[in-house]
Each structure stands twice: as C-alpha cells, then as structure tokens.
Amino acid sequence: MIHVNQDVFYLSTQNTSYIFRVSQTGHLESLYYGRKIPFQNDFSFLGNNLRTGYGNTVAYSQADTSMSLEHLRLEYSTFGKGDYKEPSIQVEHPDSCYVSDFKYRSYEILKEKYYPAGLPSSYGDKAETLLVTVHDKALNADLNLYYTVFETCDVIVRSCKLINKGDSSFKIHNLMSAQVDLPPQDYTMLTFDGAWIRERHKNEKTLSCGTYSISSNIGTSSNRHNPFFALKEPECTEHNGNCYGFNLIYSGNHMARVEVSPHNITRIQNGINPFEFEWNLEAGQSFDTPESVMTFSSNGLNGMSQNMHKFVQDHIVRGEWQYKERPILVNNWEATYFFFNEKKILKLVDEAKSIGAEMFVLDDGWFGKRNNDKCSLGDWYVNTKKLPHGIDGLCKKVNAKGMMFGLWVEPEMVSPDSDLYRAHPDWAVTTDKYVPSQGRNQFVLDLTRDDVCDYLIDAMTNVFSMANIEYIKWDMNRHLSDIYSRQSGAHMGEFFHRYTLGLYRILDELVKRFPKILFESCSSGGNRFDLGMFCYMPQTWASDDTDSLERVKIQAGTSYGYPPSVIAAHVSGSPSYAAMRASDIENRFNVAAFGLLGYELDVTQLGKFDKSAIKKQIAYYKAHRKLFQFGKFIRLTDCFKSNVTYWQVVNKEQTESVLFHHINRHQVSEQTPYVKFAGLKEDSMYSVIVRQQGLSLKTFGEIIPSKIPGVEEDGALYTKVTDTIGLKTEKQSISPVSGEALMYAGFLPKLQFNGGGFSLTETRFMLDNSSRLYLAKEEAKQ
Ligand code: GLA
C-alpha cells in the first residue's frame, strides 16, 4: 500500500512499513523502515532532532542555522551541501563543479510498474509504484526515485532515473540505486564472499563507526562478493529478531556500502560500482539505475530469506519454467571433459536413462576444433569428427530414448585461435598498448558494440535452432581485463555498464525467440549468480565445486538470498576434483537434493552398489521434487558456526517436509541431540521416516575382510564384492507424532555408531561428512 499525506510518504507491505517525508529544507528525510506500524496523520515524532548551530557543522541555509544535512537521515544524499557521509549521487557540471542539491518537486502513484530502460527488472501486476521527483536547479536535472511495493513478500524495490533537462551534457560519477539511512542501532553485516569453487560463504562483521563496502570490478557480479547482503540486530538469530536483506538486479560491477557515521546514522547504499565509472549524460538524455531490492523481517534471518525467496520466485524468474518442476539431468563434463564421440555420448545417455534421469546435457567440446580449452570459442559449428551426425543427429537419438537434450555454449568469449578472432580481432576486449592478458586462454568479446551483439544473437539463434534443444547452459569463464573498446567514439568510463547492457540486449532477444528453452546461467560455477541473470535464466550453476562438504556451505550461503529453485546442484564423482575429498554417494545426493538435481559423473563406470543407490535417489527426488525445488526452505542451524547442519523444506500446505541432518565430523561417546522440525502444523499428526540409504561395505574397512578367511581388504575379490553388494542404513519411523512434539520436543535419531558392539540394522553409521533425510508427512485425520 502507498499512502501520501501532505509531505509524508507511507509505504507498507504485509509486515513492514517504510516512511519518509519532505523536510523543511525540501530534502527527502527518512523516518522509518521496519516492522509494520499503522498509518497516522502525523509522523513528525520520528524525525531527527539533533541540531547543532555551533562547532564546525555546516548549516544548510542561513534561514535556520541549527539545521545541517549531516544530521538528517536522507533518502538520497548529494555532495557539497553539508552532509559528509558518502553521497548517492556524484555529478560533474559542464564547468567542472561537483556540488549538487536535489530538492522535492512532485510525486505520482503510477498505474503501472516502472521498468528501467535496457535493464532487467522485477515485475508484478499488482505492484504499486510511487514516483517522487527531486530537482537540482543549477544542474537543471530531475532525479526520479521509484519505489515499488511487493506486499506479499515484504519487499520494496527501488531505482532512480536521472534526467538531463539542460542544454549541455554533464558527467555522472556515481548514481546509487537506493539509500537507506537508519537511526542509531547496532548492526552486524552479513556478506556472501568467496572465489572460484568457494562461492558465497557467509561472513559476519560487527559494524562500528566507519565504512564497510563490498563490490565487484571484474565485469560480472562476481564470486568475490555476491550483491546480496544483510544487516541484523545483534540478538537476531536464524529464527527471531530484526534484520534487513538487500540485493541488486544487476550482473555487472556492483557496490554495496554501509557507513556508520560519527553521529550513529547507519547509511546503506547499493548500485553500480562507481569504480572506473563515468557516464556522459547528454542534454535531454536520461540514465536509469538497476533496481535495488530490500526487505525487512522481524522473524530472524529465515524470515528475511523466505521473503527474498518468494520475491525471486514470483517477481524475478519468469516464463515457461517459472514454477515448472525442473528435469533431472546428466551432464557429461566431469565424465568425459573434451574427449568424447557420439558412441561414447550415447553410452552415457543409455546409462542416464537407465538410472531415471530425464535430460542429457552435452557440455563443452562439441564445436570447432575444441579438444582442449585453448581454441575455438566463437566457432559455433559442430565438430563432425566427434559428432558425425551433428547435434541434430545426436539430439534425435537422445529424444528417441525418451530423454530431453541440452547443450553448453560460451557466447561472450573468443579464443585467439578461432576463425572468429582471425576475422574480427577488433571484436575482442584488448588494447594495443599492452600485451592482452588471457583468462582460460580466451578473450572477452566487446559487447559494448552493437555489431558484436547482433552477431551473437544470430550465431546463438543458429545454434539453438540446430535441433530440438530444450536446455542451454550459458557459460562465461573469465573476468574482464585490458578494458578497451576499439569502437570509434567509445568512452571507457562507460565500458563496464555498456558491456552489461549489451549482454542484456542479447539475452532479452534470445529468451523471446526461444521462450521454451530452460536456460541455466554459469560462470565458472557461480561467478555471476545474481538477480539480473535470473530475469532471463531461471537457474544458475552454483559452483564448480561439487564436493559435498563444500557444497553444504556454498548452498547454505546462497540460501540467505536465493531459493533452492534457482540453485543447480549436481552429484559428481568421488573424490571430488575440486577438493580431492572422497565422500559417499548418498551424502552427495542428500546435499544436491536441496537444489536442482543433476549427475555429473561417468554413469557408465558405476559399480552395482552406486548405480542401485542412484536409482533410488532419483526415484526419491522425483517423488518429492516439488517440495525440494519449490518448498519453503528453512535453515535450522548455521553451518558456518556448527558441526551439525539441519535444513528443511516444507510444502505450502505444511503437510510434507524433508529435514536434512548433516555432520562434518562425528563424535563418539556423546549423546545425540534431538532433531527438531520447524514450520509444521502444531495440531496435526505426522509420521516421520528416515530415507534408508545404501551403506557400502567399504565403510567397515578391514573389519569385514578380517572375518572372512582369504579375503584381503585391498584384494580384487573384496573390491568386487564391495562394488556389488551393499548394506542398508538404519530403519527408523515414528508415528503418529504431533506437529507440536516434532517442533518443540523433537525426536531422537537411532543410536549413533559408538565403538564396537554395533548392530548392522539398528546402529546409525553417520560418519564424517555424512547425512540423513527425514520425511515428515501429515497423517490422514481419523
Ligand atoms: C566451466 C563450467 C563447467 C564446465 C566447463 C566447460 O568451468 O563451470 O561446469 O561447463 O566450463 O569448459
């Protein structure tokens, strides 16, 4: 709801309120953002009262010498008029003056949501948008501030548009998407940082006077610092307390900054990274910022995450696949790398089909002369040595076996050894001034150029039309460097943003041309995991790291801002090539099940034990797929702080839930904690059943061979037997049990292995890096 009363703007969602007003000086003053409070005519009691007409404070005007912009909590701050905190807008007038002062001009409640030009954005028929225009007289520019209210997910989306109303151009050095100034209060900031194969690990810092910022300058949103971040009050936990979440609908260089001022105002800003950014705004032109997303929850970090999850599902992801259950795929990358031919692929496809997978994805290596990563990016024609019947021939065979077919591409790149580069060396992002640096032996194509974007739209249209391709993995495997466009008249301060706009134009067109294709975004794993990409592609490959222990952290960190329905998660071989850590096949599945399941290992080489385990996993996932992909996700514990991780997904009706219980390291001679569910109906009765997993004989090391004469632990017979035969993990079921009991008392899992004297049917062998899934199902009412 949006309500305007004279100079007060009151925005509310189901559970939050956001209030600001026009100050006496004509600036927009923030009054409140937090738990919902009712509208009332006078909110002046929320305004600032710190006044200092003494010392070195600068008074905004001589009309009231005690009033300084430094002490107002502002909706959007400028430079040069007395507020010394970081500004949200920095412009350079034609005469090189850097001062600006935007004051209230008008407001309007828009009938339709505002969509920033050229940028992906949130959408929603019922969303109301408030437009408040502030104006700088000297610059002769309007700044439109947009606020869209998404009531049911407690989200407010903001963006700005700067309009040059004068006769000459001026420069923009910085234009944030949003600013929130909060009153004195201690906060802890949560950011999600990492690197390749270690994406989105949660980091917490206690904020005190000073500035903390996260940003990207690599050209994409990056695995360094995800654009999602949060602020929580010190006592806020996963389940209780006040916290805020922020994100940006943008895939290029971003920045988020939190400043605690010496006067205890906490200023939060996010937007395009001002680093190396300088935009020439011509007379009559305008500039739109990406949308900034913000939410508040008084139900702890899970409340905040659930708001963001709902928002992503309902107002970011769109099209054919928005709510459609995603197919279980087998991808050949870790099974074959570049070394395959049609025969080998078809063998994989047969095995994929026999374990129950629904789609086969052909990864890198199908085009040009691509037998390693040193050539052929840009040459998007089939390598007929490997695939004599082309992609179409292969796809038909895959389809004939009753499976969908998907393909990998990396369109934004060009290999120096490629026909494309030989024909268009000027299309690569390089400069003659320096020997250009390569990443994974490749250059980035200059998407600031229209001709390059047009070429890519055509090239990808050809690829996507080659066959009945139902899924595309769109990869992007290096950071940008040697930033320079060889296009005449190009201005390098605009390069990064124009690259991102070029990418969006390509994606927008391709998604329109191929509305049925399921697109998965990838950038060496999760190097471009952001809301901008999700507006075009409903899912992203979370990380090249599929080691189950690492994945617990990567998926948990990701879950703070993003729902399982966008997180692609695969089971790959053991040991994992990313961490060189062995882990059992069941644990790898249990972790991947809390995302979009796939298998990325050589399914033709599976022993009987693993194959039978995988078949059962796929059947289990299919039976609960909607729950795993679209259920409400809950973090019961914080895996960054604890040895034990519990996650849960619960369906909308609260009739079904799966709980994930994982341990990093098992401890003998210790009481097992009771397992408590959340999110069930208190007064319903449930049954709880553990998923019985395969238990490899190898678990027992020499214990079993020592009991059988002639069998040695590393002997051929033993290996054959252990690859073929497996035991089953403990059985446990509890029923009937009330929702109240499951949530407040919990239940005790079967007795954990605790030194000798175990029973193969009763003991719970949950060893290092292992897990269980417990399914709770509502029982029919008598
Ligand atoms: C990147 C991706 C991988 C795989 C390879 C292929 O590393 O993240 O999943 O597709 O490229 O070259």
- Tell me the pLDDT tens digit for each residue of 551-575: 999 999 999 999 999 999 999 999 9
Asked if pLDDT for residue 125 goes beyond 80, the answer is yes
User: Beta partners for 600?
Assistant: 572
Give pLDDT, residue 706.
65
Atom 8 in ligand 1: which residue has the minimum CA distance?
A: 524
Query: 3-state DSSP call for residue 145?
Result: strand
pLDDT tens, position by position, 485-527:
999 889 999 999 999 999 999 999 999 999 999 999 999 999 9
Query: What pLDDT shows up at residue 711?
Result: 67
> Pairing state of beta strands 266-272 and 198-206?
unpaired
Percent of the chain with pLDDT over 90: 91
Query: Looking at ligand 1, which atom is closest to the CA of residue 544?
Result: 8
Phi, psi angles (nearest 5°) of residue 717: -65, -45
Split at pLDDT 50, 70, 90, the class of 747 is: very high
CA of 248 to the centre of ligand 1 (A): 25
For the whole prediction, is pTM greater than 0.85?
Answer: yes
Bridge partners (DSSP) of residue 650 are: 632, 657
Nearest to 451 by CA among 476, 493, 486: 486
Q: What is the pLDDT of residue 331?
A: 98
In testing the pocket of ligand 1, which one of 408, 442, 472 has its CB within 8 Å of the most ligand atoms?
Answer: 408
Minimum CA distance residue for ligand 1 atom 6: 364
Q: How far is the CA of 573 from the centre of ligand 1 (A)?
A: 15
Going by alpha carbons, the residue nearest to atom 2 of ligand 1 is: 524
Determine the distance separating the centroid of ligand 1 and the alpha carbon of 357, expressed in angstroms: 20
Task: Find the residues whose C-beta lies inside 6 A of ligand 1.
Answer: 333, 363-364, 408, 475, 477, 522, 524-525, 541, 544
Q: Is the pLDDT of residue 721 over 90?
A: no
Look up tokens 């501030």; give the residue.
Answer: 145
Distance from C-alpha of 330 to C-alpha of 717, rounded to nearest angstrom? 31
- Whose alpha carbon is nearest atom 1 of ligand 1? 524
As given in the structure block, the two tokens for residue 607 are 């022993």
Name the region of 617 (left: φ>0; alpha: ψ -120 to 50; beta: rest).
alpha
The answer to whether residue 465 scores a pLDDT higher than 80 is: yes
Q: Give the pLDDT score at 709.
A: 64
Nearest CA residue ID for atom 5, ligand 1: 364
CA of 29 to the centre of ligand 1 (A): 48
The residues that are catalytic are 475, 544
Residue range 630-641, pLDDT digits in tens: 999 999 999 999
C-alpha 528 to ligand 1 mean position (Å) = 13
pLDDT tier at 475 (50, 70, 90 boundaries)? very high
Q: Hey, which of 371, 520, 522 would you mutate to test ligand 1's pocket, going by the most ligand atoms within 8 Å of its Cβ?
A: 522
Q: Give residue-wise pLDDT tens across range 406-455.
A: 999 999 999 999 999 999 999 999 999 999 999 999 999 999 999 999 99
pLDDT, residue 49, reads: 81
Query: What pLDDT was estimated at residue 55?
Result: 86
Query: In the structure encoding, which two tokens stand for residue 637, read together?
Result: 């514990």
**Best mutation site among 363, 523, 543 for ligand 1 pocket (most ligand atoms within 8 Å of CB):** 363
Backbone phi, then psi, for 762, in 5-degree steps? -105, -30
Say yes or no to pLDDT of 707 above 70. no
Overall average pLDDT of the 275-297 stretch: 98
Q: What are the beta bridge partners of residue 172? A: 91, 279
Ligand 1 geometric centre to CA of 473 (Å): 9
**What is the distance in A from the centroid of ligand 1 to the CA of 666?**
34
The atom number, within ligand 1, closest to the CA of 523 reads 8
Residue 710: the pLDDT is 67
Asked if 702 and 713 touch (Cβ cutoff 8 Å), the reply is yes
What confidence tens digit (pLDDT) does each residue in 159-216 have?
999 999 999 999 999 999 999 999 999 999 999 999 999 999 999 999 999 999 999 9
CB atoms within 10 A of CB 744: 11
Pocket test for ligand 1, best of 331, 336, 477 (most atoms within 8 A of CB): 477
Atom in ligand 1 nearest the alpha carbon of residue 525: 8
Ligand 1 atom 7 nearest Cα: 524
Average pLDDT, the chain: 96
Sequence-ordered list of residues with C-beta below 8 angstroms from that of 700, at least 6 positions apart, any chain: none
User: Among all chains, which residue has been given the structure tokens 């809301």?
Assistant: 531
- Per residue in 59-108, pLDDT tens? 999 999 989 999 999 999 999 999 999 999 999 999 999 999 999 999 99
> Ligand 1 atom closest to Cα of 522?
8
Centroid of ligand 1 to alpha carbon of 27 (angstroms):
50
Least confident of 51-55, 122-126, 545-549, 563-567: 51-55
Q: pLDDT tens, 640-684?
A: 999 999 999 999 999 999 999 999 999 988 889 999 999 999 999
